[in-house]
Amino acid sequence: MFEQSVLPGRAKSEAQHRHEICVAGRWMYERGFIVACEGNLSVRLDAQRVLTTPTCMNKGTLCPDDLVVTDLEGRQLSGEKKFSSELAMHLLFYRMRPDVFAVCHAHPPTATGFAVAGRALDQALLPEVIIGLCQIPLVRYGTPGTPELSAALEPFVSHYDAMLLANHGAVTCAPDLLTAFFRMETIEHSAKITLAAEMAGTPELLSGREVAKLMAARARYFVEPPPGGGAELPITSDCTDEKDEPVTLTRNELDALIDEAVRKDRARR
């Protein structure tokens, strides 16, 4: 294994997970997603244990022995350092999402700027974001490190893999650490492109038909949607059209929209 690598998948020893969390922490720091002692990372080791970063330490300078192991109730099992006060946010994902084995929280500056401005990244602008994440919603503000934040997050956890946190930052979840980190990169990249497009002119949104085609293509790209099925589709050009123009869909596009509606209905029940 390369010294600075994070490999896909989760079938690894605890020693490998410790190494890779430290590597991902350095990546976040080098990319400016975090400064000082900001941010936190965790990996679910098994059904009872979570490996996580400590509080009051720069996540770009961690060593494997700095990490902490807790149970799913937040009780510390091993480690000399204290775990982050924001661990509760990570544990919420692990309790609600059996498919989630890694959580990444950071403050990427452009995306956090959108969160501070009270704006979600919910426009149909980039095919890769729509296929990979559907959209990136904004979670209302909750005081970091308190139950308020978990309460604000809870309605979103089952339905989204990447979220902006109002006046705070961003959080992602995934089946493995590498994917969780990539999703954090995608949030910041999407925010930068959205901001650049707005500075250059008026962004051209994709149509509802184009979004339906992209949603239908998710399986082809091996994208598994969150199990809750209640994610809102991004805002399309159809939502802003003043004229009531007819829209035509292929059978596959219609089936994709129907499946999405059924998942949302089941999630609300």
- For 136, phi then psi, to 5°, come to -120, 100
Active-site hit among 14, 73, 80, 86: 86
Percent helix, strand, coil in the chain, to 5, is 40, 15, 45
* Active site (annotated) includes residue 86: yes
Task: Please list, in sequence order, all residues whose beta carbon lies within 8 angstroms of the beta carbon of residue 203, skipping any fewer than 6 positions away.
Answer: 123, 125, 194, 197
Instruction: Give the pair of three-digit tokens for residue 236.
Output: 């399309």
Task: Please list, in sequence order, all residues whose beta carbon lies within 8 angstroms of the beta carbon of residue 99, skipping any fewer than 6 positions away.
Answer: 175, 224, 226, 227
Q: Is the CB of residue 226 less than 8 Å from the CB of residue 162?
A: no
- Alpha-carbon distance 182 to 103, whole Å? 11
If we measure between CA atoms, which residue out of 221, 241, 254, 233 comes closest to residue 124?
233
The residues annotated with a catalytic role in the active site are 86
